[in-house]
Amino acid sequence: MIEIQQLTKIYGAGASSFKALDDVSVTINSNEFFTLLGPSGCGKTTLLRAIAGFVDPTAGSILLNGKDLLSSPPYTRPVNTVFQNYALFPHMSVKQNIAFGLEMLDKPKSEVEQTTQQMMALVRMTEMADRQVSEISGGQQQRVALARALAPKPQVLLLDEPLSALDFKLRKEMQIELKRLQQDTGITFVFVTHDQEEALTMSDRIAVMNAGHILQIGSPREIYNQPAERFVADFIGESNFVSADIVEQRDDGVQVRFSNQQTTLAQSTASSPKSGKVTVAIRPEHARLSNSDEQPLLSGELKQVVYFGTDTHYQIILEDGSDFVLRRQNSPGQSIDMATGEKLGLMFEPGVAQILAD
């Protein structure tokens, strides 16, 4: 278990100083696939490097299983890193790279050999053992970096955007591979990425970061379905933002009223406002076009229809002038017989709208 308490990192001093981490607290459980997700410059890599020991925090503490980590140098922390550019040693073979950590721990020769063989088998690189790292492909380098970091059996594996240099197909394969490795080894993975899809598919829990803060921590489902803040709703997946007034708090949610006087049941989080004007988020795929016999919740004018293969996006301008995107899955034989400028009604189920804390 990693306990990060009130961690702050300030680069520089005076007017030019920059707060990379601002009072960040989070607890990462053992055997968890934990993802730090956020745009570049949000502090996720700084947090990862603080755990690894390459960044000296300005304030706060990091405990690993109750023991203070910050007082020990990187080479005594039972934590290994898979670097973004892999950082494989170019003067060593695949096998020598993987064995490096074990040799530095002064493990007996037989154990080094045995574990190295195991690791090469685990990442399916046994045949490449004697190749130089410059002679193998990007995906293979990635696997060697993974094996090298896993070989010393660290308590925590840190992964700094390890898949960002791979092409789309390989990335998909490695996502599944990483998840498998995490489950097989039972090691805690702390994964840094700016790719929301990657975060959603692999993680047990995600921490969404922006501007040195953690905005929300939760399972992929929670983060996607119940974003607490506008930034989270916008960064992960797509969202429509609609203004509304809170009518009343109920046991099953919060009744809100749109500017057209229609009401719907919305969900709230602990941090969202309890009364007054709010913004609600609605996912594009959670809305549908209303039938002729229904009273629509929102209505507007069709601006554009964009075909995406698996689904179609309908860009709509609502009555209050704001944009709304509706996504509908395509099915064979379905025709798009709508012209731009046509009046449309929108429906969504109770509990779909999410009240934001902004």
Partner 1 sequence: MSDIGLLREKEASKRRWMLLSPSLLVLVLFASGPLLIVLVYSFLQSGDYGGVVWNFSTQAWFNVVAEKDFFDETIKFSDAHLSIFWRSVRLSLLTTLAAIAVGFPTAYFIATRPKAQRDYWMLLIIIPFWTNLLIRTFAVMEIIRNEGVINSVLLGIGLIDTPIQMLYTEFAIMLGMVYVYLPLMVLPLYASMERLDFSLVEAAYDLYATRWRVLRKVILPLVKPGLVAGAILVFVPSLGAYVTPRVLGGGKQLMLGNLIELQFGQGRNWPLGAALSITLLVIVMTALMIYVRNAEKDGGQHG
DSSP 147-205: HHHHTT--SEEEEESTTTTS-HHHHHHHHHHHHHHHHHH--EEEEEES-HHHHHHH-SE
Distance CA 40, CA 190 (A): 17
Which residues pair with residue 289 across a beta bridge?
346
Decide: is 12 part of the binding site for partner 1 (CB under 8 A): no
Candidates 40, 66, 75, 252: give the one binding partner 1 (CB under 8 A). 75
CB of 133 to partner 1, least distance (A): 11
Taking the complex as a whole, the smallest distance from the CB of residue 101 to partner 1 amounts, in Å, to 4
Torsion of CA 118, 124, 128, 133, to 10 degrees: -90
- Which of 132, 225, 243, 263 binds partner 1 (CB under 8 A)? It is 132
Token digits of residue 30: 């053992």
The region of 82-90, 187-195, 314-322, 350-358 touching partner 1 under the rule CB under 8 A is 82-90
Single out the segment in contact with partner 1 by CB under 8 A; choices: 1-9, 74-82, 243-251, 339-347: 74-82
Structure tokens at 356: 């934001």
Q: What's the DSSP call for residue 93?
A: B
Binding residues for partner 1, how many (CB under 8 A)? 27
Does 38 interact with partner 1 (rule: CB under 8 A)? no
* Between 53 and 57, CB nearer to partner 1: 53
Pick 99 or 266: Cβ nearer partner 1: 99
CB of 141 to partner 1, least distance (A): 13
How many Cβ atoms are within 10 Å of 40's Cβ, its own excluded? 8
Which residues from 42-71 bind partner 1, rule CB under 8 A? 52-54
Q: Of 73 and 276, which has the nearer Cβ to partner 1?
A: 73
Classify 299 as helix, strand or coil.
strand
100 contributes a contact to partner 1 by CB under 8 A: yes
Of 90 and 333, nearer to partner 1 (C-beta) is: 90
Query: Would you give the binding string for partner 1 spanning residues 152-191, x where CB under 8 A is met?
Result: x---------------------------------------
Rg (CA), the chain: 25
According to the binding rule CB under 8 A, does residue 120 interact with partner 1? no
354 sits near partner 1 (criterion: CB under 8 A): no
Least distance from partner 1 to the Cβ atom of residue 10, Å: 18
Given phi > 0 = left and psi -120 to 50 = alpha, else beta, which region is 240? Answer: beta
Does 101 participate in binding partner 1 (rule CB under 8 A)?
yes
User: Minimum CB separation from partner 1 for residue 54, in Å?
Assistant: 6
Q: Whose Cβ is closer to partner 1: residue 49's or residue 283's?
A: 49
d(CA 290, CA 297): 9
349 closest CA partner among 266, 268, 281, 279: 266
Give the closest residue to 269 by CA, choosing from 257, 277, 281: 281
Single out the residue of 87, 265, 305, 347 in contact with partner 1 (rule: CB under 8 A). 87
Both structure tokens of 65: 């299983």
CA distance 109 to 88: 22
Tokens read off for 60? 């706060």
Find the shortest distance in angstroms from Cβ 97 to partner 1.
9
Residues engaged in binding partner 1 (CB under 8 A): 52-54, 73-76, 79-81, 83, 85, 87-91, 93, 100-101, 104-105, 130, 132, 148-149, 152
